[in-house]
Amino acid sequence: MEIKDHINIATDFSDHPGSRYIEDGAFSGQDFLEKILLPRFEKAVRENYLLEINLDKVYGYPSSFISGSFGKLSIEKGGELLLKHIVLISNDNPLNAEKINREIKNPKK
């Protein structure tokens, strides 16, 4: 499958991701999910391509942000489908991609 779309979290969203819910403050996981991740993921599934997500140049990923975005999407759409259509790029800190992959495979409900 070919990569046809890219999300750079630092430039397309924020270099300071926040907590889980919109009401908890700016740049929440819920906000990222609803405004950026979900629409782009659904298009990748519909058109059968890979969505590349660059995790670099961000000051850190709170577990609540990861759970509120990638975890919630995994619960809604299924981890297997999610992993089939996304590629995580994390050259600055490979642990970020590992944390997200763990959440996708085992989302907190």
**Residues 90 and 97 sit within 8 Å (Cβ to Cβ):** yes
**Residues 26 and 18 sit within 8 Å (Cβ to Cβ):** yes
Q: What is the pLDDT of residues 38-80, one digit of tens each?
A: 999 999 999 999 999 999 999 999 999 999 999 999 999 999 9
Q: Is 89 helix (H, G, I), strand (E, B) or coil?
A: strand
Percentage of the residues of the chain whose pLDDT score is greater than 90: 98
Which pLDDT score, from 0 to 100, does residue 108 have? 80
Mean pLDDT over all residues of the chain?
A: 97
Residue 1 pLDDT grade (very low, low, confident, very high; cuts 50, 70, 90): very high
Provide the residue ranges of all domains of the chain, joining segments of one domain with +.
Answer: 3-105
Predicted structure pTM score: 0.96
Half-sphere exposure in the Cβ direction for 43 (13 Å, CA): 12
Which pLDDT score, from 0 to 100, does residue 82 have? 98
